[in-house]
Every structure is written in structure tokens, then in C-alpha cells.
């Protein structure tokens, strides 16, 4: 790790780092980032068509799900973040034109078993796309989702050898975030064990992109995500690296990096 960063307390996989995206401004940044990236374009053909009642855990704004829903589908979007929820609500009208019904459930996945619905919360398929619980609490999440869907379950889990909770980490030299990481989906498989291993795993490469209003906004984003605003030397080194990289790439204020996702399929009704 670079000299200026040796004494920082930040760790990309800490609870604080994972939860930083819950803040409204980070939620808005994430939504914009997903829209600019080719995430849905690359992943949707692999995930395939989602028909019937679709339970979507950690739905976000449906960056991937909404591209996979079949006409007539019923989208049960579980998303506790209010900013994401507002984005979901804005999809009602355009999706209704395709015959898709949207129910936003402002709940945490841990509370799903307490949902007071006739017959419980049941679906034809259950999905969890790009959410931390798939590799931090995989066994618990599996049990909750398996109880809700007797048919198909699909997870999309980060698979790059870089932080799973810091979307643009790959734009920086790896020493800034501590070196190569174990891909998150491998942690998923370890937590689930052989008895709950997916029936199929597909690896998909895509590119994460985000445009910022100014070069200073780029700097601020990375300084905040690495939590070095109070460390003058580390912040200065980070600014210098970013300035050189932005100048060299001539991409204006747009930042991008390569990503990889693992698509995990379980087919319980086969």
C-alpha cells in the first residue's frame, strides 16, 4: 500500500464502507452510475426473462430487473432505501404499459418472514442482484429467499478481484485499496457450502462508468470513499494520482473501470 495510506483506518470491506451507499447522495450516485454503465446490457441476456411473480431483494431502482421482466409480470421490489424507493415508484407508469405491476415493499430482507400478507410473501422466482448480503450473509439470505420461492432463484454477485462495495475502486491502482481481493462470489460459495451450491454459474464482464460535474467532484468522491479527508498527505497523493490519470485518459470528468459479475442460478422445481 502507498506510504501515505499505511496509517489510515479505512477498509473497503468494513460495515461503514458497505453502508455508505445508504446515504441519499450516494444512492443517487449509484443510480446514475448504473444507468451510465453497460451492466444491464451485459447481464440481462444471461439472467433471462423473469415471468410471473418476481421477488426482488435489494431491488434498488431495478437497474437490471426492469430489463428482464416479462409482460404481465408482478414485480415485488423489496428495497428499504427511500431514494431507491422513489426511483422505483417512477417506474410504475412506463412498466404498466408493458402489463407489469410494481409493488414497492419498503422493508429489509431480514424482515420478510414477518410480512403480513395472505399466504405469506410468495413468488415464482426470487432474485438478488448486486447486494452485499449475497456474500456477507449468504446462508441467511438463501434461507429467506428459498422460503419465498419454490421455483427459481438467481443472484448476481461481484466477481472481480477488487472491492465489492466500492464501485469505482478499479479506477485506482490496487495499492490504494490494499491489493487484490478474493472475489465476492467465492465467499458466497464458501458460506453456502456444497449442499446449497448453485445449479449454474456464469461469469460476465462489464464496464462501470460515472460522469461527474467537475474534476473536483471526482476528487471529492474518491477522497470520501477512501475516508482520507482528514489525512493531508494521503488526500494530496490521491489527488495527484487522479489528476494524472484524468489528464492522460482525456475522458473529461468521466471515470470508468472493468467489472465482473457472477450470475448464480438455482432451479428448485426442475
**Domain residue limits, the chain:** 15-164+171-207+259-267
The proportion of the chain whose per-residue pLDDT surpasses 90, expressed as a percent, equals 56
Its pTM stands at: 0.87
Q: What is the pLDDT of residues 94-119, one digit of tens each?
A: 999 999 999 999 988 988 765 545 45
> 165-223 pLDDT, tens per residue?
788 888 988 877 766 688 999 999 999 999 999 999 999 999 999 999 899 999 988 88
Which strands make up the sheet holding 254-267, listed edge to edge? 101-105, 74-78, 53-57, 125-129, 152-158, 254-267, 200-211
15-164+171-207+259-267: what fold? Answer: Rossmann fold (3.40.50)
242-258: average pLDDT: 85
Mean pLDDT of 137-151: 92
Contact in structure between 113 and 147 (CB atoms under 8 Å): yes
Is pLDDT of 65 > 50?
yes
Amino acid at each position: 500500500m502507498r506510504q501515505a495510506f499505511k496509517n489510515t483506518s479505512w477498509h473497503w470491506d468494513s460495515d461503514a464502507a458497505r453502508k455508505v451507499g445508504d446515504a441519499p447522495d450516494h444512492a443517487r450516485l449509484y443510480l446514475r452510475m448504473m444507468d451510465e454503465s453497460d451492466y444491464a446490457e451485459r447481464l440481462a441476456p444471461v439472467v433471462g426473462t423473469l415471468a410471473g411473480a418476481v421477488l426482488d431483494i435489494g431491488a434498488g431502482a431495478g437497474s437490471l430487473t426492469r430489463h428482464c421482466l416479462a409482460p404481465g409480470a408482478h414485480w415485488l421490489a423489496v428495497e428499504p432505501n427511500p431514494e431507491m424507493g422513489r426511483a422505483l415508484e417512477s417506474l410504475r407508469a412506463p412498466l404498466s404499459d408493458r402489463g407489469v405491476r410494481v409493488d414497492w415493499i419498503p422493508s429489509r430482507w431480514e424482515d420478510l418472514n414477518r410480512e403480513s400478507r395472505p399466504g405469506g410473501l410468495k413468488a415464482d422466482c426470487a432474485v438478488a442482484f448486486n447486494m452485499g448480503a449475497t456474500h456477507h450473509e449468504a446462508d441467511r439470505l438463501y434461507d429467506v429467499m428459498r422460503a419465498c420461492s419454490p421455483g427459481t432463484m438467481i443472484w448476481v454477485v461481484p466477481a472481480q478481484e477488487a472491492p465489492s462495495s466500492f464501485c469505482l475502486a478499479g479506477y485506482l491502482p490496487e495499492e490504494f485499496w490494499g491489493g487484490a481481493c478474493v472475489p465476492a462470489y467465492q465467499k458466497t460459495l464458501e458460506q453456502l457450502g456444497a449442499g446449497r451450491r448453485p445449479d449454474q454459474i456464469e461469469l460476465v464482464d462489464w464496464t462501470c462508468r460515472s460522469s461527474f460535474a467537475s474534476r473536483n467532484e471526482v476528487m471529492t468522491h474518491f477522497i470520501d470513499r477512501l475516508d482520507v479527508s482528514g489525512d493531508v498527505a494521503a488526500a494530496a497523493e490521491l489527488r495527484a494520482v487522479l489528476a494524472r490519470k484524468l489528464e492522460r485518459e482525456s475522458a473529461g470528468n468521466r471515470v470508468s473501470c472493468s467489472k465482473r459479475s457472477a450470475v448464480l442460478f438455482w432451479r428448485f422445481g426442475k
